[in-house]
Amino acid sequence: MQTIKLGDVTISRVIEIDRSSFPTASMLPDSSADRIAAHHHWLKPHFFDERTGDLASRIQSYVVRTPRHTIVIDTGVGNDKNRHGAPAWHMRKSAYLDDLAALGVTPERIDFVLCTHLHVDHVGWNTRWDGARWVPTFPNAKYVIAGAEWEFWKYESDAGKEESGCIADSVVPVVEAGQAVLVDSDYAVDQYLRFEPWVGHTPGHVCVRLTTSAGSAVFSGDLMHRTVQVAEPQWSSRFCYDAAQARATRRAFVERHADSGTMILAGHFPHPGYIVREGSGHRFTRS
């Protein structure tokens, strides 16, 4: 993605993994190949991966630079982490920090890390291994987390129900370092960025709305995993905490943003773009 400029704010991204570890049929268990094929006229070529013969997906971070702050939204899988449940994520040795540096950003320059939610593929680079322990990757940043999301996952982790281990190695060290800021789900980060509650995928899932003089954008986290969900919002992912709530949230989000001119930057979509109406339904178009 080329750097996007909205007024005096720029948006870039760091792609950590350029494809999904889960086929669409597995990720969206209510989906059907026939229904997906019915959308190929707009899904191809930009939202389809010919290498895998499946819908395209990314694990990525967004870097937002305002006149005052440099912000990272979600931090991917991370390096050196024990992730036996997903071989592509296990003990990674990626060039994420080098890719961040290529944008002219070093960890010390990050002012805020915004967490849309606390799933394993969104918090990994919150911390790094310093040879002895997990420490915050971004030493000068405030890590902004919805309090409801933290409370839920802290309980799950303490009860041994959080199977990936990401809360223990990627969130707790940030809290213990005093860098976590636990906030309400409508928290204003600064004059440009604000949390919005869009729950269902997780109990405290938020999107991040960017408002500028030249337009607006929403970093939608995992409200949708595959672009086809714009047209088929009833398909919740296998990882949604409350599939019914996620469906309702997704439908409301799609309807609100259709033909609005608001750019959507999803956690796993291969490209940013816009939700537009098509007949009685909706589709996604690349920006």
pLDDT tens, residue by residue, 185-224: 999 999 999 999 999 999 999 999 999 999 999 999 999 9
The CA distance from 93 to 192, in Å, is 34
User: What value does the mean pLDDT of the chain take?
Assistant: 97
Position 198 in a domain: no
CA–CA separation, 198 and 271 (whole Å) = 21
Do 89 and 141 fall within a single domain?
A: yes
CA angle 33/34/35 to nearest 5° reads 95
Instruction: Say if 41 falls within a structural domain.
Output: yes
Number of domains composing the chain: 2
First-to-last C-alpha distance (Å) of the chain: 10
| In a shared domain, residues 2 and 120 | yes
Choose the final residue of a domain: 160, 185, 210: 185
Task: Classify residue 203: in a domain, yes or no.
Answer: no
pLDDT for 5 beyond 60:
yes
For residues 11 and 43, state if they share a domain.
no
The residue-averaged pLDDT of 226-232 equals: 98
User: Alpha helices, DSSP H only, in the chain?
Assistant: 24-27, 33-37, 40-43, 96-102, 120-123, 147-158, 166, 172-176, 243-257
Residues 134 and 272 in one domain: no
CATH of the domain at 155: 3.60.15.10
Domain that residue 227 falls in:
22-57+223-287
Asked whether residue 98 falls in the same domain as residue 4, the answer is yes
Q: Are strands 134-136 and 70-73 parallel, antiparallel or unpaired?
A: unpaired
Could you tell me the sign of the dihedral formed by the alpha carbons of 194, 198, 201, 204, in that order? positive
83 and 93 belong to one structural domain? yes
Residue 141 pLDDT level (bands cut at 50, 70, 90): very high
250: closest CA among 270, 274, 223?
223
Q: What is the pTM of this model?
A: 0.97
Q: Would you say residue 8 has pLDDT above 80?
A: yes
Which among 21, 87, 89 is positioned nearest to 237, based on CA atoms? 21
Same domain (yes/no): 29, 86: no
Residues 123 and 246 in one domain: no
Residue 32, φ and ψ in degrees, nearest 5: -135, 145
The Cα 167–Cα 134 span in angstroms is: 12
Residue 1 has a pLDDT of: 56
- Residue pLDDT, tens place only, 149-180: 999 999 999 999 999 999 999 999 999 999 99
Beta bridge partners of 62: 13, 73
Residue 191 lies in a domain: no
53 & 63 share domain = no
Tokens 């296998």 — which residue?
A: 238
Predicted pLDDT of residue 21: 84
Q: How confident is the model at residue 85 (pLDDT cuts 50, 70, 90)?
A: confident
In a domain, 194, yes or no: no
Whether residues 246 and 165 share a domain: the answer is no
Q: How far is CA 153 from the centre of its chain?
A: 17
Q: What percent of the chain has pLDDT over 90?
A: 97
> Same domain for 84 and 177?
yes
Q: Which domain-ending residue is among 164, 185, 206? A: 185
Is 20's pLDDT higher than 90? no
Which pLDDT score is estimated for 15?
Answer: 97
- 232 and 154 fall within a common domain: no
Q: What is the pLDDT of residue 184?
A: 98
CB 220 within 8 A of CB 246: no
For residue 213, is it within any domain?
no
